[in-house]
Homo-oligomer: A and B are copies of this chain.
Amino acid sequence: MRISGLADTSGVSVATIKYYLREGLLHPGVATSATQATYDDSHVRRLRLIRALTGPVGLSVQQARAILTLVDDPGDDLYATLGRAVGALPPATSPTPAGDPDPYPRARAALEALGQVFDPRFPAVAQLETALAAAEDAGLPISPERLLAYGRSLRELAAYDLQRMPAEPRAAVEYTVLGTALYEPVILALRRLAHQDVAARLDLGG
């Protein structure tokens, strides 16, 4: 299949495919001459994944590349790979000023209350701190009680996810990294719908 066939099959324009090739999101085809190369099913699948990440998931091309690189070349430490994947995903957080003895006070308190590991090197810690600070700044601080309630429910979900993690390492990385990126929008949508459903049953304002 040549580039125009790939474009037809995938629904992505030739120009955009060239752009993804240039940006390193898509692996090159097999060159058959100076001005020809053939593409196969792996390119079609990869394009689908790229479009899923840059479209519905809302990643930038750079973020998508970071995620794809992790899936292609995971380290042998799944735990560390998950950390890197989380760091590559939005929301981006500003680097901590060095020398701050307690850069994430809100996140630390929350995790201690939940009895969870607090490791300041994990990117999600900074993300949690930023999110809690934003809620405070906006005048809707999150109470410790609410954090506990959220944390407990989400821990159930996490346990469910990890129980179903594939045993084979490569599949496990894909499951973990892509699952983080792809399942989060599902979770947000389900939460919004749960709000709607509960509100409807309470017969609010209707």
Q: Which residues of A contact B (CB under 8 A)?
A: 45, 48-49, 51-53, 55-58, 76-83, 86, 90-91, 107, 110-111, 116-117, 119, 122, 124-125, 127-128, 130-135, 137-140, 142, 146-147, 149-151, 153-162, 164, 174-176, 178-180, 182-200, 202, 204-206
Contact = CB atoms under 8 A, between A and B. Distances in A.
Nearest to A130: B56
A178 B140 contact: yes
Contacts of A200: 79, 117
Given A127-B192, A190-B150, A57 B179 contact: no
A74 to B, nearest CB: 10
Given A158-B195, A206-B77, A188 B150 contact: no
Given A116-B194, A146-B164, A189 B128 contact: yes
Contacts of A186: 128, 131-132, 135, 142, 147, 150
Contact of A91 (B58, B91, B122, B140): B58
Given A142-B186, A158-B191, A180-B195, 9 more contacts: A110-B190, A117-B197, A127-B188, A150-B187, A153-B154, A157-B191, A158-B197, A187-B187, A188-B188
B116 A193 contact: yes
A91 B193 contact: no
Contacts of A48: 137-139
A164 B146 CA distance: 10
Given A56-B91, A198-B159, A139 B183 contact: no
A171 to B, nearest CB: 10
A53 B138 contact: yes
A111 B192 CA distance: 12
Contacts of A160: 146, 149
B189 A124 contact: yes
A76 B205 contact: yes
Given A58-B91, A77-B206, A156-B153, A52 B190 contact: no
